[in-house]
Structure 1
Amino acid sequence: MIMELQAEIIKNRKRLKLTQAELAKRIDVSEEKINQWEQGGQPPTIENLIDLSNLFEISLDQLVRGKDQLEFEELAARPPMSVWDFLARYWWLLFAVGGFLFWAFSRFS
């Protein structure tokens, strides 16, 4: 995870054409902190991560994990699961639900 964070900070800082000093000034931290983050030293705090994601205009997930928005859009574009797909994946639930119904009807009848 640290490697992805380092790479995202460097990539987005360069994309905005900022030096480490300029980035530090914009999010109100020292230049040494930026250097530590980019070198894989002490990771940023949650507040710093939020400031970085706002400045870079990317999601926290993309900043921390290095995931592009396209990956999430691909997941959202998947067709919904059909009944047969559901049964193929979760067939064992039929035994649990059937056993509960059998118990409930025999108990309260």
Structure 2
Amino acid sequence: MELQSEIIKNRQRLKLSQAELAKRVGVGEENIKQWEQGGQSPSVENLIDLSNLFEISLDQLVRGKGQQEFNEVVAGQPMSVWDFLARYWWLLFALGGFIVWALSRFS
């Protein structure tokens, strides 16, 4: 249900008719009608085209949840050490490389 409403909402936000949206995505107007009524789902390629046209993520298009909602939930909570490591684990490689370089340089 979210996909149908997201297509309608974003098409109306851009002030496009179903025919104009169909032309921009490269499908027939009947496809747009089917997508908005829930009779048919867009292909993966069409979903990507729609998300690019609407300038939203695929997640927001398909599930109706955007990054902004996620940020609002997370914004009030402090990040634990484990959350930091889960998000920035790759920094350990840079830090380890720096330590190895510093030890070999100054030993």
Unaligned runs of 5+ in 2: 83-107
What is the Cα deviation at residue 80 of structure 1?
Answer: 2.1
Q: TM-score, normalising length from structure 2?
A: 0.70
Partner of 2:46: 48
Unaligned runs of 5+ in 1: 84-109
What is the Cα deviation at residue 61 of structure 1?
Answer: 0.4
What is the Cα deviation at residue 25 of structure 1?
Answer: 0.2
- Count of matched residue positions in the alignment of Structure 1 and Structure 2: 81
> What percentage of residue pairs aligned between the two structures are identical?
74
The Cα offsets for residues 55-75 of structure 1, whole Å up to 9 and x where unpaired, read as: 000000000000133222134
Partner of 2:71: 73
How far apart, in 1, do the equivalents of 2:81 and 2:7 lie?
A: 41
1:9 matches 2:7: yes
Partner of 2:98: none
Kindly name which structure, 1 or 2, has the bigger radius of gyration based on alpha carbons. Answer: 1
Partner of 1:28: 26
Letter in 1 for 2:79: P
Q: CA RMSD of the aligned region, Å?
A: 1.6
How far apart, in 1, do the equivalents of 2:14 and 2:69 lie?
A: 23
Q: TM-score, normalising length from structure 1?
A: 0.69
